[in-house]
Amino acid sequence: MSRRRIGFWYRFAAVLAKPPLVVLFKRDWRGMEHIPADGGFITAVNHNSYLDPLSYAHYQYNTGRVPRFLAKAGLFKGSFVGAVLRGTGQIPVYRESADAATAFRAAVDAVNRGECVAFYPEGTLTRDPDMWPMEGKTGAARVALLTRAPVIPVAQWGANEAMPPYAKEKKLRLFPRKTLKVLAGPPVDLSAYYDREPTAEVLREVTDKIMADITGLLAELRGEPAPAEPYNPRKAAAARSAARRKAGEERA
């Protein structure tokens, strides 16, 4: 199928969100030519601020292809925010429940209908101390292999400077005026995986390939080299525990 129209609710949300974004922030947008004009596709985006969904959505809205985000199911219940999420066609994620697979099926259906589904493959705000992307989860890889739709890597930077993810006080730091940078790259080449069984190993390889492309784009935006390996929260926690045990043994 081709492309879904933006629709009333997305335009309404844009009317509310775009003016403050335009006034309060500068923009450095690149790579819009990589956003497909037609057909279903996936975007895979790094996540480093509670503000960055607005930054990225603003960027892609201006391409004419609006993203359908996967969002926590609780946000869809009642309230004005819930009405907007439902109206704009966002996809609820039911974590730790029998309905957990619903989001996956809905994402596949949306891509097959010709829409864009946006994934934050890290699954949460990055825990990397230097704000680089973490090791990703395999949801985007699963949908990509099942639909064989293009996967567009997207890197963003700047929202984290206006709203740092782990600041003690969740306050906007608007001045001096920050620049919201977004860079989309060419589709990730996953053709070598299409005829392979989607085992855990294959899904991990595909996910790592997607994350490597996102990280490379972010290195371009930041103008500095990325780490050799992505941050793994479990390994980092284990290393901290081992260091504490060693320190305790040395004191004893």
Measured between alpha carbons, how far is 145 from 40 in angstroms, rounded to an integer?
A: 13
Say whether pLDDT at 252 is over 70. Answer: no
Rounded to two decimals, the pTM is 0.88
Secondary structure element (H or E) that encloses residue 72, with its range: strand 67-72
The answer as to whether 239 is a domain residue is yes
The answer as to whether 12 is a domain residue is yes
Q: For a pLDDT cut of 70, what percent of the chain falls above it?
A: 90
The model's pLDDT over 4-13, given as tens digits with 9 standing for 90+, comes to 567 777 787 8
Partners of residue 139 on adjacent β-strands: none
The answer as to whether 1 is a domain residue is no
Say whether pLDDT at 44 is over 70. Answer: yes
What are residue 61's phi and psi, to 5 degrees?
A: -55, -40
Q: For a pLDDT cut of 90, what percent of the chain falls above it?
A: 63
Q: How confident is the model at residue 167 (pLDDT cuts 50, 70, 90)?
A: confident
Number of domains making up the chain: 1
Rounded to the nearest angstrom, the gap between the alpha carbon of residue 223 and the centroid of all alpha carbons in its chain is 21
Q: How confident is the model at residue 96 (pLDDT cuts 50, 70, 90)?
A: low
Side chain identity at residue 115, one-letter code: E
The answer as to whether 214 is a domain residue is yes
Mean pLDDT of 8-36: 89
Closest CA to 128 of 47, 223, 32, 241: 47
The answer as to whether 2 is a domain residue is no
What DSSP string describes 202-230? HHHHHHHHHHHHHHHHHHHHHTSPPPSS-
Output the pLDDT for position 1: 47
Is 245 or 161 the better-scoring residue by pLDDT? 161
Mean pLDDT of 12-23: 86
The answer as to whether 231 is a domain residue is yes
The model's pLDDT over 171-202, given as tens digits with 9 standing for 90+, comes to 788 889 999 999 999 999 999 999 999 999 99
Question: In terms of residue numbers, what domain contains 28?
Answer: 7-251
Q: How confident is the model at residue 90 (pLDDT cuts 50, 70, 90)?
A: confident
The model's pLDDT over 53-83, given as tens digits with 9 standing for 90+, comes to 999 999 999 999 999 988 777 778 777 778 8
The answer as to whether 125 is a domain residue is yes
| CATH number of the structural domain spanning residue 142 | 3.40.1130
The answer as to whether 73 is a domain residue is yes
